[in-house]
Amino acid sequence: MIHTVILLLPDIKQAYPLSTLAFTQAQGSKKKIAASYKQALIVDRNGRFRSFKEIEVLGPLGNSFSRRILSCLTGSWQIRVQLSASLDYSLEEAKRLLIDCMDSPISADNFDFESLSAHQKFIESIRAATSFDTLLQGLVLSAPENSLDLL
């Protein structure tokens, strides 16, 4: 089943809603795909933080010869992603990571907040969380069709 997770890029302090469909397809050079996500984290709907253990490029996307040629020309690849086991973050560490990545204009645009005040309210709900349950209640995840669908 396809659902939405949060992609955190702590090294550049950005976050994106990511469809799990993106774990099967990527765009870019083969070397860049794996290198781009070495520091990235995924936060799933259950609040588990995981890292990318491996991204394996399987080949061009598509079933037909013409589609596969187009895929090679555009750098679109079928991939297989292996995620780490759940990472053990304290509530404070999780909140700090989320705030660091979410508190930027780029992340606000990525999550399509209605206004600047809605974005700030979201950041405050993260700060105010007293448990992982309350932290998860504040996480707003868009539908998979409104999220990034490739790495």
DSSP per residue, the chain? ---EEEEEETTTTEEEEEEGGGGSEEES-HHHHHHHTSS-EEE-TT--EEEEEEEEEEEES-SSHHHHHHHHHHTEEEEEEEEPSPB---HHHHHHHHHHHHSSHHHHHHTT-SSHHHHHHHHHHHHH--SHHHHHHH-----GGGSB---
* pLDDT reading at 114 higher than 80: no
Higher pLDDT, 151 or 11: 11
Residues 101-115 have a mean pLDDT of: 80
Q: Is residue 150 predicted with pLDDT exceeding 80?
A: no
Whether residue 76 is contained in a domain is answered as yes
Over residues 41-53, the pLDDT tens digits come to 998 877 889 999 9
pLDDT category of residue 87 using cuts at 50, 70 and 90:
very high
* Residue 31 pLDDT exceeds 90: no
109 in a domain, yes or no? Answer: yes
Q: Which residues share a beta bridge with 143?
A: none
- Per-residue pLDDT band for 85 (boundaries 50, 70, 90) equals very high
What's the average model confidence in pLDDT over 34-63? 85
Lowest-confidence segment of 48-57, 81-90, 137-146 by average pLDDT = 137-146
Q: Is residue 74 part of a domain?
A: yes
The answer as to whether 57 is a domain residue is yes
What is the per-residue pLDDT for 51?
Answer: 92
Domain count, the chain: 1
| Mean pLDDT on 13-25 | 88
Is the pLDDT at 58 greater than 80, yes or no?
Answer: yes
Does residue 47 belong to any structural domain of this protein?
A: yes
In a domain, 151, yes or no: no
Average pLDDT on 100-120 reads 81
What is the reported pTM?
0.83
Query: 28: domain range?
Result: 4-146
pLDDT over threshold 80, residue 142: no
